Amino acid sequence: AQSVTQLGSHVSVSEGALVLLRCNYSSSVPPYLFWYVQYPNQGLQLLLKYTSAATLVKGINGFEAEFKKSETSFHLTKPSAHMSDAAEYFCAVSETSNFGNEKLTFGTGTRLTIIP
């Protein structure tokens, strides 16, 4: 069974400061990992994904994440926060040992607030 734990349901950072959103996963097979962002009253948008290639993954809007197998982590970072980054962020894991079954298991989400 797969699962994801996001530490911190709410994170506040000042504009221009480092953003760090934490995600730890559990999976019985090598995982595929994702970060999605949800703006108010909108659907989920893919920020970046790890699919067993490079461990440092770069995504959209200046975000990146590093896959660390030894720590079972996939933390999301951005060097300098912008007001437009305020949103809810979800980490998700996909167990792809079964053909065609790519269901995503999501964490509980982290609401990011940017302080002007």
Nearest to 40 by CA among 116, 111, 98: 111
Alpha carbons 19 and 75: distance in angstroms, whole number: 10
* Residue 24 is a binding residue for another protein (CB under 8 A): no
Residue 24 or 105: the one with the smaller Cβ distance to another protein is 105
Which of 66, 72, 96, 111 contacts another protein by CB under 8 A? 96
Q: Which stretch binds another protein (CB under 8 A): 19-27, 54-62, 77-85, 106-114?
A: 106-114
* Residue 100 is a binding residue for another protein (CB under 8 A): yes
CA distance to 17, 22, 75, 90, 97, per residue, from 9 (Å): 19, 10, 14, 10, 30
CB 105 within 8 A of CB 3: yes
Which of 24, 66, 72, 109 contacts another protein by CB under 8 A? 109
Smallest distance, Å, CB 78 to another protein? 21
The stretches of the chain forming alpha helices (DSSP H) are: none
Q: Say if residue 44 is exposed, middle or buried (CB neighbours under 10 Å; 0-12, 13-18, 19+).
A: middle
**33-72 binders of another protein (CB under 8 A):** 34, 36, 42-46, 49, 51, 53
Q: Which residues bind another protein (CB under 8 A)?
A: 32, 34, 36, 42-46, 49, 51, 53, 90, 94, 96, 98-109
